[in-house]
Amino acid sequence: MQKFVYGLHFSIFLFVLFFLNGNIELFRKTIPPFGKFLDPAKGVWHHNVPIGYVEDNLTLPISKQASVIYDERWVPHIMAENLEDILFLQGYTEAENRLFQMELMSRAAAGELSSIFGEVTVGLDLDKRRRGIKFAAENAVNAWKEMPEFDLAQKYIDGVNAYISQLKPEDYPLEFKLFNIQPEPWTVLKSALIFKEMSLFLCGKNEDIEYTNAKNTFTQDIFNQWYPEHEDIENPVVPDHSLVIPDTLFGKQQDNSSFYDGIIKKTFFETRNPGIGSNQWTVGKSKTKSGSNIFCNDPHLSLGLPSIWFEQHLKTPQFNAYGVSFPGFPGIMIGFNDFIAWGETNVGQDVEDLFLIEWADDKKNTYYLDGKKLKADIRIEKIAIKGADPLYDTIRYTKWGPIFKSSKDGKNDLSIRWLSHDKPKGAEFMTFVNGMMCKNYDEYLTATENFQTPAQNFGFSSASGDIAIRINGMLPAKYDQDGRFVEYGNNSKNDWSAFIPRQQNPHVVNPPENYVSSANQRSASKNYPYYFTGNFENYRNKTIIEKLKTGSDFTAQDMQKMQMSSFSPKAKEFVSVIPTDCRQMGSASGINWYDKLKEWSFEYLKDKTEPVFFEIYMKHLRMNTFDEIYSKLDEVAIPIPKDWVLYKNILNDPLNEIFNIKKTSTIENADNIQKLAFYKTIREIDSLMTAWKNLNWGNYNPLHIYHPTRIPALSANNLAADGCPDAINAKGNSFGPSWRMIVHQKNPVEAYGVYPGGQSGNPFSPYYKNMVNDWVEGKYHVLHQNITMEELSKKQVKKVVASPNKVKS
């Protein structure tokens, strides 16, 4: 018995020993090392943040003394004597606050998440490897290192590494301890990976497969009517009166015989949040109450904790810039200085085409191009998996790019031609460094001319009164339908033959309307000679332009209200054509809902129920109208026609055959479909009203701002917020306006901003998610760009004095 008790105690000891050191697997999941994680001296408890004012003194490899002062919202005001030192300190400060976020983004882009999270992320890693994200980043680095400006970018990287090098294990950010990993030295490749991840997010989505399937499923007439590329009335970013038609065009017309004429199966399907995009507008001085320009920008991106943005103030004797950066990349991406304000929205132009490969042998080592056999380049990708053996994936590269999607028989293997794979021709990494130092539009044009991809609408405003938007980036010179469908990859003539010269990109400066705006709508009308195809917005831009066109005497506060507008022009359109017979459906319930919709302001307010009814109604309207598409989606990816097209056909062609439900014996029209959708919506929402104590838009479609681990305590979940993808306040269930900024270019500059998160990446910090509620409620913070040292000293919660290293002679 004594031996049994001894053996039991020893077994428990061994279990606890291994458990606390993370050496046990359950269900093929490696348990985190809770012994290290809970260590009183070095574990999670070490992350408590000191209360009250803190002052640090650092010795760093900079040329002159500098300082970093954190204000009441933990925004760092970085002050240095030259550009080199300030970029170094920017790198140091971003690493100090966002190191795990930076590490995670770079690993996600490289396809290395499984080394942290195990088998659950293998699919994501395979996708990134097969897209060639790391290949693209390596190409960028090889080009960047040959450029004389690279030394400045290296200063930022040196700053990141200066912070990492002084860390002790007890100082590692919480997530490093949670997953038992160590910070790696920062490299230019990691920064390039983050830049390419941004490119993937903004211009790494094509619909070639979906539109190929639609083209080859429907008749040409049906396809043209339900998948048009232009509205009858459009509000492009660059109005026709500002559109310059060049005398000399580049590129060549594509031969339609190059388009694949088959059906491609579901395994290739991709999705994209419909509301991801941005708003940017500038009101010229003649339309403001003060007589000074007001610049506004709010990019709509996936929201997370910590935020994708890091707010900061960079000041030297040469410039005084304020705004937000993308942690891991130098400069200020969206911001302002004493002279100008700048920001971006996504262009949405398709710069990713798919080509069907004709293999010349069963092993897929050679393929046909222009009647010749070419050898595919083989890249063996090793995916390290925590708690499991590594996975090796063989990826073949053709003239077009990597084989992104492969089929079992090899007959539908698709190679991806993506602009981000190309080596950059200029110092694109300096775009947001050079831009933040400019004083006028000519300087800004020159400073940003090397930006390559993802193409952006670069918005600009100056204190002197200039306003402008330029479509900036490299764009293939395409003509009608080129790149809209999957093309045969056995002919090099199907490749992009040229790029649009940058001076021929659409561009508007000081228009007679006295405002400029972009909300991801088309950059130019069909009068622009080059072909634009991709993802474009159809509703937000109408609201913005209507408000700017009809308003006057605007103030910064008016712009705040405008950014918070939850009005949906789409809802207004569709409600206007609901048949009056719907009022009689469901007796009292039908009358009630019909009347409520007709009296609705079409604002998606969190405490209203009308948005819930309308969203359910639109779901049934789409499913009943496009039943022939929904029935195929399990096997074949076909795009659902856009809502503006559905509305147009309800108005103009209500007897169109698409409205007929294929499974019924009767022939339905648009009127029948609307009534059926309304009836189904009444039944569904009445059931919801019975089940929910208080059904409204806020609790029906709550907002979730996740930490990458999805741990609830580290996230901000179930937030009731106004907005919808078609409103200026474009909110979804996990995306929305990631940074709202308004710059009133008076003297001195008056600026406001807010984002849904906090400056610190430390979940134990009071600055981790302290701005979430303010963002939800539409409360803005004053951006202290022209603050005096005396005023800043009253707000500071931490001061870091950085002194140069003393090198012995």
pLDDT digits (tens, 9 = 90+) for 584-626: 876 788 889 999 999 999 999 999 999 999 999 999 999 999 9
Q: Report the candidate in 499, 350, 502 with the shortest Cα–Cα distance to residue 417.
A: 350
Q: Give burial (CB, 10 Å; 0-12/13-18/19+) of 175.
A: buried
- What is d(CA 723, CA 698) in angstroms, rounded to the nearest whole number? 9
Using the structure block, give the residue that is written with the tokens 């580290």.
Answer: 714
CA distance readout (Å), 343 to 20, 136, 456, 557: 48, 25, 9, 19
CATH architecture designation of domain 569-700: Orthogonal Bundle (1.10)
Task: Report angle CA 742, 747, 751 to the nearest 5 degrees.
Answer: 20
Residues whose CB is less than 8 angstroms from the CB of residue 291 and which lie 6 or more positions away in sequence, other chains included? 285
Across the range 216-226, mean pLDDT stands at 96
Across the range 147-176, mean pLDDT stands at 96
Is the confidence at residue 295, as pLDDT, over 50? yes
Is the confidence at residue 639, as pLDDT, over 70? yes
Q: Are 353 and 487 in contact (CB under 8 A)?
A: yes
Four-point Cα dihedral 422, 127, 334, 461, nearest 10: 60
Annotated domain spans of the chain: 569-700
Across the range 275-290, mean pLDDT stands at 91
Across the range 226-234, mean pLDDT stands at 92
Q: Are 731 and 722 in contact (CB under 8 A)?
A: yes
Residues in the chain: 809
> pLDDT tens digits, residue range 471-483?
999 999 999 999 9
**β-bridge pairing 515-518 and 277-283:** antiparallel
Q: Report the candidate in 276, 280, 202 with the shortest Cα–Cα distance to residue 237.
A: 280
Per DSSP, the three-state class of 327 is coil
Q: Report the candidate in 606, 614, 600 with the shortest Cα–Cα distance to residue 729.
A: 606
Q: Is the peptide bond before 169 cis (omega within 30 degrees of 0)?
A: no
**β-bridge pairing 320-325 and 334-336:** antiparallel
Q: Are 457 and 344 in contact (CB under 8 A)?
A: yes
Is the confidence at residue 733, as pLDDT, over 70? yes
Is the confidence at residue 779, as pLDDT, over 60? yes
Residues whose CB is less than 8 angstroms from the CB of residue 794 and which lie 6 or more positions away in sequence, other chains included? none
Q: What is the pLDDT of residue 32?
A: 55
Amino acid at 548: L
> pLDDT tens digits, residue range 734-746?
999 999 999 999 9
- What is d(CA 627, CA 10) in angstroms, rounded to the nearest whole number? 65
> pLDDT tens digits, residue range 659-677?
999 999 999 999 999 999 9
> pLDDT tens digits, residue range 58-117?
999 999 999 999 999 999 999 999 999 999 999 999 999 999 999 999 999 999 999 999
- What is d(CA 775, CA 761) in angstroms, rounded to the nearest whole number? 18
